[in-house]
Amino acid sequence: MNRTKIKQALTQTPVGQDITIGGWVRTVRHSKGGFSFISLNDGSCFAQIQVIADKDLPNYESDIVSLTAGCSVVVTGVLVESQGKGQRVELQAGEVRLLGAADAEKYPMQQKRHTFEYLRTQAHLRPRTNTFGAVARVRNRICSAIHEFFQQRDFLYVHTPIITASDCEGAGEMFNVTTLEAAAPPKTDDGTIDYDQDFFSRQTFLTVSGQLEVEPYCCSLGDVYTFGPTFRAENSNTPRHLAEFWMVEPEMAFCDLQGDADVAEEMLKHIFKTVLSDCDEDMAFFNQRIDKTVIETLQHIVNSDFVRLPYTEAVEILEKAGKQWEYPVGWGTDLQTEHERYLTEEHFKSPVILTDYPASIKPFYMRVNEPDADGRQTVAAMDVLVPKIGEIIGGAQREERLDVLEGRMDECDMNKDDYWWYADLRRYGTIPHAGFGLGLERCVQFCTGMANIRDVIPYPRTPRNADF
C-alpha cells in the first residue's frame, strides 16, 4: 500500500492528486444531503483530515453510515479544495475500506473530554487523543533535538549499562536485579542472602544514573553523553517523580563548573527553540488547552540569560525575603521546594542555576572548592531550577584529585574497593571534567505545560503502578 501520511496530505500534496491514507476515525458527521464527513487522524500531525464520503459509494449503507470514533479505515481518493470552513483541503473518497470496527458502546475513548486520571487507566488507547498524540510528538522532537545538540558539538553517544553493581551513590533507593528465588533465597552462614549464587555472583541493581560509567569514556574520548532509562525505587508520590524515567547525562572533558552550566543552558535553549519552531501545531494546542503561558515562557527563556547564583548568596536572598518559610533557611541545610520556587518563580522570574552547595549535603564525587572566607566547605555542584517543575537538571564538576576523592569517600563511609576503577581515572592521567543529568520527562513537562509527569511518558511506572 502506497500510503500518504496525513501531515503530508494537508501540507504538501497538490490539489487534484490521488492518494491513499490510513487512520483512525475521530468524528463522523452524516449529512442528509447524501454524504458523510469523516475526520481521520493517523498520528503524523495534530490535525485531522476531513474525508467526504458520498452515498453512492458501494459500502455507504453497510459501513460508512455506522462508522464511529476509533474505527480504522483506509481511504483512497482525490485531494480537493474544501468547500467548508476549517480546512484548506479535504479528501473526496473514491473508496473507504473499513479495517476494524470499534463498538461505540464499549470503546473506552468517548467522543468527549476525559480526565487525565481516567486516561491513565487506558494507557493503551490514550495515544489516540489529541493531548497524548501531541505529547508523543513533542517528546520525540525533544529527544531528537538532544541528539542534534550533542552531535553538532562532537559529543560521543555512549551506552552505559542498565544493570549495575554500583551502589551508594546517594541517588536514592535501587531496584534489585536477581534470579534468586524470592521466597527462599540461598543464605550464607550468617543468615544474609548469598549473592555468590546469584546470576552475576554479586548483588546487582537497575541503574540510578549512568554517570559513574560514562566518566571513563569522558576521560578517554572527551565529550560524551548517555541517554537512557533510569530507575529509582523511592516511594515518591508526586507529579514530578517516576520510578522509571529517561535521563540525558553529558560529561565534558577539560571542563569546569562554569563550562558545565554553559552547556546546560545552551542545551535547554536549543531544545526549547526546536520545539517552538518544529512543533507549532502541537504547541498551539498546549498553549490553548493545557497552559496558556507555555509558549510565552519558552520564548522568554530562549531569549534571556539564566541567573547564576552561588548557594551562599541564595541563602542570603531567602533570609532577606521577609517570608514566613515553612522550613527555616540556613547555611548548611538543603533548599526546600518552597525556597527553590521562590527564587525561580518570584524573585528572579527566570531559570536559575544554583552553584556551590555545602559539601555536607552533596555526594562524594563532586569537586571540593576552596573553603570560603568563613571556612565553610562547598562543592562545585549546580542545580538548574525552572518555574513550576523545580529542579530540571542536577550536575557538578567532578573531583579529579585522587587524595581528595578518597577523603570524601571515607567521609561518606563508602567501601573504596568497590570504586577502584572510578579512582583509577584519577590515578592515571586525571583531568578536570564536569557533567549533569537532565530528566527527560521533566523537560517534556516544562515544554508542554502538562501538570503530571505520568502524562508525558507512555507507560508511567510509579509506586503500585506497573500496568500495561
Partner RNA sequence: UCCCCGAUAGCUCAAUUGGUAGAGCGAGCGGCUGUUAACCGCUAGGUCGUAGGUUCGAGCCCUACUCGGGGAGCCA
Interface with RNA (CB under 7 A): 27, 29-33, 37, 39, 50, 52, 68-69, 82-87, 90, 104-105, 108, 110-112, 114-115, 117-118, 120, 170-172, 209, 232, 234-243, 245, 247, 327, 334, 336-338, 341, 383, 390-394, 437-439, 441-442, 451-454, 464-465
- Which CB sits closer to RNA, 72 or 82? 82
- Which CB sits closer to RNA, 114 or 153? 114
**Residue 96's beta-bridge partner residues?**
75
CB of 179 to RNA, least distance (A): 26
Q: Which residues contact 114 (CB under 8 A, 6 or more apart)?
A: 129
- Which CB sits closer to RNA, 195 or 435? 435
What radius of gyration, in Å, describes the C-alpha atoms of the chain?
27
CB of 124 to RNA, least distance (A): 15
Q: Which among 446, 467, 442, 447 is positioned nearest to 457, based on CA atoms?
A: 442
The count of residues in the chain is: 468
CB of 196 to RNA, least distance (A): 30
- Which CB sits closer to RNA, 103 or 374? 103
How far, CA to CA in Å, does 208 sit from each of 231, 352, 391?
Answer: 5, 25, 17
- Which CB sits closer to RNA, 264 or 425? 264
- Dump the DSSP string for 10-58: HHTSPTT-EEEEEEEEEEEEEETTTEEEEEEE-SSSSSPEEEEEETTST
φ/ψ of 229, rounded to 5, equals -75, 150
**Residue 462's beta-bridge partner residues?**
465
CB of 428 to RNA, least distance (A): 27
- Which CB sits closer to RNA, 9 or 195? 9
Decide if 143 contacts 440 (C-beta within 8 A).
yes
Q: How many helices (H) and strands (E) does the chain have?
A: 12, 16
- Which CB sits closer to RNA, 176 or 336? 336
**Residue 52's beta-bridge partner residues?**
37, 92
CB of 26 to RNA, least distance (A): 8
CB of 294 to RNA, least distance (A): 17
Which helix (H) or strand (E) covers residue 197, if one does? none
- Which CB sits closer to RNA, 85 or 202? 85
- Which CB sits closer to RNA, 264 or 368? 264
Judging by DSSP bridges, how do beta strands 307-310 and 244-253 pair with one another? unpaired
CB of 351 to RNA, least distance (A): 12
**Residue 463's beta-bridge partner residues?**
none
Q: Which three-class secondary structure state does DSSP give residue 294?
A: helix
CB of 211 to RNA, least distance (A): 9
- Which CB sits closer to RNA, 146 or 392? 392
Question: Following CA atoms 379, 381, 386, 391 in sequence, which dihedral angle do they give, to the nearest 10 degrees?
Answer: -100
Q: How far apart are CA 231 and CA 237, in angstroms?
A: 15
Q: Which three-class secondary structure state does DSSP give residue 112?
A: coil
CB of 373 to RNA, least distance (A): 27
How far, CA to CA in Å, does 278 sit from each of 164, 248, 425?
Answer: 37, 21, 41
Q: Which three-class secondary structure state does DSSP give residue 184?
A: coil
Task: Locate 169 and state its grid cell.
Answer: 551513590
- Which CB sits closer to RNA, 79 or 247? 247
CB of 362 to RNA, least distance (A): 9
Q: How far apart are CA 421 and CA 299, in angstroms?
A: 44
CB of 41 to RNA, least distance (A): 12
